[in-house]
Structure 1
Amino acid sequence: MSTWHHLIADLKLLWETGVKTYDAYMKEYFNLRAILLWTINEFPAYGNLSGFVTKGYYACPICSENTCSQWLPNSKKVCFLGHRRFLPLQHPLRKRKKYFNNQQEDGVIKQPLSGEEIYDYLTGFETSGEKNVCESVYGTLLNLPGKTKDGLRARQDLEVMGIKLELQTQPRGNRTWLPPACYTLNTTEKHQFYETLSTIKVPNRYCSNFKNLVSDDVSKMNGLKSNDCHVLMQQLLPFAIKGVLHVKVRKTIIEEALEFFSDYLKNMKSIGNPHERVDERIRTGKPLSRGTVEGVDAKLLDEAHLYVLRNTADVELQHMLELNDHNPRASRNSKWLQTQRSRTFISWLKTKVDTHFANGEDICESVRWLAKGPSFAVKKYSGFAINEYRFHTTSRDESRTTQCSGVSLVAHVMQIASAKYSNPMYGAVTYYGRIQEIWDLDYRIFTVPVFMCDWVDSRGIKKDDFGFTVVNFARLDHQSERLLVI
């Protein structure tokens, strides 16, 4: 790997600065600049050179997150399907089910990213230095040969400097013993460190599965990509060492790591999904599982419909103004106004739209169908992709090594100091929850995905000593609305 780093350094020097070179024909020196245009290599080497993960569910560098893959539980490997997507839309093989996966192929291929799109995607990422620092930190903690910065030579330097007598080398027969430092993990602590990393669930494609990067005898940790080091140092390390080091040692390591990366990465993009969210409210989205059509409780369906209206229709302000005009005295009570809005908005919108339509007035088609309300037959899914994000139900996540059921929401809500106050204050509150069900409400000409969530009570949310938000999902708020529209 050191040879690879030297090669990169030489290539950057050749392109950015150049080197002084002698021209034997002209008998003079000139500044030579060069660039590596392409390489010829097999697929695994392609992954090593580019940093792209060429194995697992998203192994195709062209299809990326749209790779059609499936895990074979008996063969213990991933197979890749969906090749019929590359055929013309009217090709007869698209309709042949039994010859393939018993499904008709309706999908189409996505255009590969252009050079400009790839450049924009990667702008701001400079993680080679971060990767080196990360390897030094966990290599020293785990005392990994070749990666630790606390080896024999470092201890001999302590002897030369005459400091840290308790850490200086000690002869043991024909061998030299290095006393363990306060930051060195023993075998039991290493197992606990690796166990913590291997059981942490993160969203799809957030980072590699650390369980696959650790050797069976926990003697080494190999194959970490730059993004893995980024995630480890910024988010996972504080939890991995929480129970294995003395509190003062742990606090020093975490503070130094966070301070370094806050300075080093202050102009870089945050980890996770780098795509910008799509600014649209009503869209079909993409189910990630087969749906089941079920009848739901009418009251709960009305709640879901009301939540959709509040987040999609641009007519709620008019409803609030009419409530104020018709009830000037009562509308001074914000709590009463909020209750009336929730109780009457659905019927008010339907009446308003029907009246305008009967009078021949122009009405936005989406608003007209929203006013009619959703179908009583609701399609439910265990997974859904929308606005460039993937969402799963908790039941789907239970059998997976990743999790996409966690959600957070910043909402402007009423905050009541006590029962004596009838005019509450409005403020921004962050809610944390998990998705229990995914509904796709059918409004005839479009559908709207709605998530049924369990939200955590405010008493189950706190900040730890390092500013991380800790959420206790055992403390649920049973009075909050369970709905969420993405």
Structure 2
Amino acid sequence: MCMKREFMFLTIIIPGPSAPKKSIDVYLRPLIDELKMLWEDGVMTYDVSLKQNFLMKAAVMWTINDFPAYGMLSGWMTMGKLACPVCMERSKAFSLAYSRKVSWFDCHRRFLPEDHEYRTCKKKFTKGKGETSTTPRRLTGEEVWERVRHLPSVEESKEDHSQGYGVEHHWTKRSIFWELPYWKTLLLPHNIDVMHTERNVFLNILYTVMDTKGKTKDTFKSRKDLEEYCMRGGLEVQQTENGNFLKPKAQYALTKQQRLSVCEWVSDLKLPDGYVSNLARCVDRSEAKLSGMKSHDCHREITSSLLMESKLHIMEENIPIILCKLEQIFPPSFFDSMEHLPIHLAYEARVRGPVQYRWMYPFERFIRTLKQKVTNKAHVEGSIAKAYLLEEMSTFASYYYPSDVPSRRTRVPRNDGEGSSENPPLSIFNHPGRSYGKCITSTLNDKEMEAGHLYILLNCPEVVPYINIYSDLLRELDLEINDEDLDKQISMRFPTWLKSYVLDSRNQIDDVLLKSLAWGPLKNVKKWRNYIINGYKFVTKSQNEGMSTTDYGVCVRCGENDSVDNDYYGMLIDIVELEYTGSPTKKVVLFQCDWRYPSYDPFILAQQAEQVHFSSYPEGQQSWLAVIKTKARNAIQFLGKNKPDDAYQDDDVQEMPTMVANDDLEEILVGIADEGEELPWNQMDLKDLEEDEEEIEYSTSSEEEEELIEEDGNSDSNME
């Protein structure tokens, strides 16, 4: 509830074009005073459910912030060699000789078990260097307090740095949060934001593999740093016969044709509604690159709404291995602070729980909404405040509206199929679901009607005893009948037998439901093109044409076994509602699907459907489609007890080859497809060469006054 928009409060707007940095404590003073009062004295509050007053006390569990704001709130500068607020001065980050950037290359072997083979390897990481140091221990709140208690607060001193800054510590102040009596007892008072971390790690890999000009981490300076720190002769800058320098093409970088194939695949890729933004807009086919991808396009397993403690322990073991394997592939300049932070995410998830209660997604959306309220750019802060107060008043007033008055507070959630039903559920009938769009009254042909009626009978619990009776009769008539022939007989003759059996007065069957089922459904049916059920939005294949999403993939599970072999996959062709005669009303929604199987069995119950989407392969296996299952929105699925896959990659990494095909040779040279670059010797002063490289958000440098680049180009940290 606390993450919903109506419970977010805009308490402070900090004016100005840039972030306040450590001076944010000045603006937080009123908030801290109220938090201290809430903890010590409490506030009399009215409980509307019990209709009585009570003394309410409150405490801050943790702060939710991006990485620059982490430094503002905690007082630990999140830039430079000591940027990591967990490793602190025990960080092994260093400045690269040529790129002149801070690198976390070869800083993760210390997180491996002491007997791990990577610790003794002196060729695949920093050349001639092993790793003997242990994993840095996390400091407790009491230990951190002992370190900062002597530091001045922002209100006490305006000095930028205290003695030992940048070498022994990175403290810029004593945070105002330490005034809270309970702050030192919190296990993790600040969060490393998973949202921005996952995005930056993904983009670093994407831009480097796609060799995106201006954003790749694989540059001339990177290769010179590689020569300085690593033993990868195949990737070192080479001098040609004419005195120029050649940057060999890396094995991890795609060729132009491969990049075009990826771009075409991403451009044509369609996913279910609400699971990803429109990826086609991120594709630039003319330059064979991807750009403009948002944070929600880059999810990882740790963002699951259900986390198993055992799996989080395995993640803590796997993440250092994955980072070490990446260190064997990419150059040292690839590893900025964002590539280091994932080492701590699994522990934070294990202590705090799912990231949905700790990341910046809802607040980034809230800030975006506030920015859209600006109507007077000459007075931005006042424009936001006025619009926000108006929205708060209308939201408060909506609690007194009659239940039939629509408002944002009572709006049906996205893909919520639990719509109101005029008829109470009965067996498999009247199952809650929500149709929308145009409704068409139609009829089914005899073959479709028989198939639909048969499927309903076979899946109705009240009919199961009569299926058993009919099966016993068939076995008595033919002692040698096998299961396959028995199923054929049931499919062909069971509905007719059931009707005659139930309506025969000699059998004394008075069940109204059975008699209604025996008569069969009405001839007229209702059809829709859109239906929401089980948290999924389903759209027929014909209706889905031309859309940027794909919502017609259907999966139905057969049997109790969760094996993939028991799942059937198809495409939704039609949505049909059948109604049976008699009282009470009995309606059932069927999905008519194309299963691509030889037998004719097109229908399933709508409540049985799960959603999948089908994806083609970028190269090869063009006649095959990959099936990807999706999770229903706002649903928590049990993960089971299966151990997750190990951090697999072939440890016997081969030397990066310098040989390329003839048709790729031109792409290595400067000015052609940006695959490589060749410079004359007299222009190759690598240490002083200025490169205009666009840094990915929140990357760090050795210059502590370097401005941080925000995702939207502005500092969102100004709004609290």
Query: Contact (CA 8 Å) 2:282, 2:290: kept in 1 or not?
Result: yes
- 2-side partners of 1:148 and 1:371: how far apart? 68
How far does residue 199 in structure 1 lie from its aligned partner after superposition? 0.2
Q: 1:197 offset after TM fit, Å?
A: 0.4
Pairing 1:377–2:514 present = no
CA contact (8 A) 2:593 2:602 kept: yes
- Structure number with greater CO (CA < 8 Å, separation at least 6) is 2
2:568 alignment partner AA: Y
**1:148 aligns to what?**
216
After superposition, residues 143-182 of structure 1 pair within 5 angstroms as 143-144=211-212, 147-161=215-229, 163-169=231-237, 178-182=247-251
Instruction: Specify the code of the residue in structure 1 equivalent to 2:272.
Output: P
Q: Distance in 1 between matches of 2:256 and 2:520?
A: 61
Partners of 2:177 and 2:301 lie apart in 1 by: 45
Shift of 1:310: 1.5
1:216–1:477 CA distance, 2 compared to 1 (3 A): closer
Aligned pairs for 1:39-438 within 5 A: 126=194, 128-144=196-212, 147-161=215-229, 163-169=231-237, 178-215=247-284, 217-218=286-287, 221-230=290-299, 281-282=428-429, 283=431, 285-324=433-472, 327-328=475-476, 330=478, 333=481, 334-351=483-500, 353-354=502-503, 361=510, 363=511, 365=513, 367-412=514-559, 429-438=566-575
RMSD of aligned alpha carbons: 5.1
Match of 1:485 in 2: 605
Question: In the aligned structure 2, how far is the partner of 1:482 from the partner of 1:339?
Answer: 16
1:13-72 CA deviation, whole Å, 9 max, x = no partner? 58x9576456899xx99944599xxxxxxxxxxxxxxxxxxxxxxxxxxxxxxxxxxxxx
Deviation at 1:317, TM superposition (A): 3.0
Deviation digits for residues 405-431 of structure 1, max 9, x if unmatched? Answer: 122233259xxxxxxxxxxxxx96332
Say whether residues 1:452 and 2:592 are aligned partners.
yes
| Percent identity between the two aligned chains | 24
- Alpha-carbon distance change, 360 to 325 in structure 1, aligned in 2, over 3 angstroms: closer
Please give the alpha-carbon distance, in whole angstroms, between the structure 2 residues aligned to 1:170 and 1:199. Answer: 39
Q: CA deviation at 1:305?
A: 0.8
8 Å contact kept, 1:284–1:446:
no
SS in 2 for 1:328: helix
CA-CA distance at 1:454 after TM superposition: 1.9
Seen in structure 2, the aligned counterparts of structure 1 residues 409 and 30 have a Cα distance that, compared at 3 Å, is closer
Task: For residues 354-378 of structure 1, give each alpha carbon's deviation from its aligned partner in whole angstroms, at most 9, with x where no partner exists.
Answer: 46899694x365x554333211122
Counterpart-to-counterpart distance in 2, 1:194 and 1:356: 69
Residue 213 to residue 439, structure 1, CA distance change in 2 (3 Å) = same
**d(CA) in 2 for partners of 1:481, 1:154:** 60
1:7 is matched with which residue: 55, 68, 84?
A: 68
- 1:360–1:155 Cα change, 3 Å: closer
Give the letter aligned to residue 491 of structure 2.
S
Aligned residues: 335
Indicate conservation of the 8 Å contact 1:306/1:346, yes or no.
Answer: yes
Shift of the alpha carbon at 1:8? 5.0
Cα distance between partner residues in 2 of 1:441 and 1:313: 18
Counterpart residue type for residue 396 of structure 1: Q
Q: Is the 8 A contact 2:208 2:253 kept in 1?
A: yes
Instruction: Flag the structure with larger Rg.
Output: 2
> Using a 3 Å threshold, how does the CA distance of structure 1 residues 341 and 12 change in structure 2: closer, same or farther?
farther
What TM-score comes out, normalization by structure 1 length?
0.55
Output the TM-score relative to the length of structure 2. Answer: 0.39
Q: Is the 8 A contact 1:207 1:228 kept in 2?
A: yes
Kindly provide the amino acid, as one letter, of the partner of residue 433 in structure 1.
G
Structure 2 portions without partners, runs of 5+: 1-18, 22-64, 76-139, 157-173, 183-192, 304-325, 331-341, 356-412, 419-424, 607-720
Distance 2:450 2:518 in 1: 12
SS of residue in 2 equivalent to 1:447: strand
Q: CA shift at 1:348, angstroms?
A: 4.0
1:139 is paired with a residue of what secondary structure? Answer: helix
Describe the SS at the equivalent of 2:271: coil
Give the superposition deviation at 1:477.
Answer: 2.7
Q: Deviations over 1:108-150 (max 9, x none)?
A: xxxxxxxxxxxxxxxxx95554333312211111223565332
State the one-letter code of the partner of 1:437.
D
Which has the larger share of strand?
1
1:346, 1:136 → 2: CA distance?
A: 61
Provide the rounded CA distance (Å) in 1 between the counterparts of 2:181 and 2:587: 54
Indicate how the Cα distance of structure 1 residues 332 and 31 shifts in structure 2: closer, same or farther if over 3 A, else same.
farther
Which 5+ residue runs of structure 1 have no aligned equivalent?
36-124, 235-248, 254-259, 414-426, 456-475
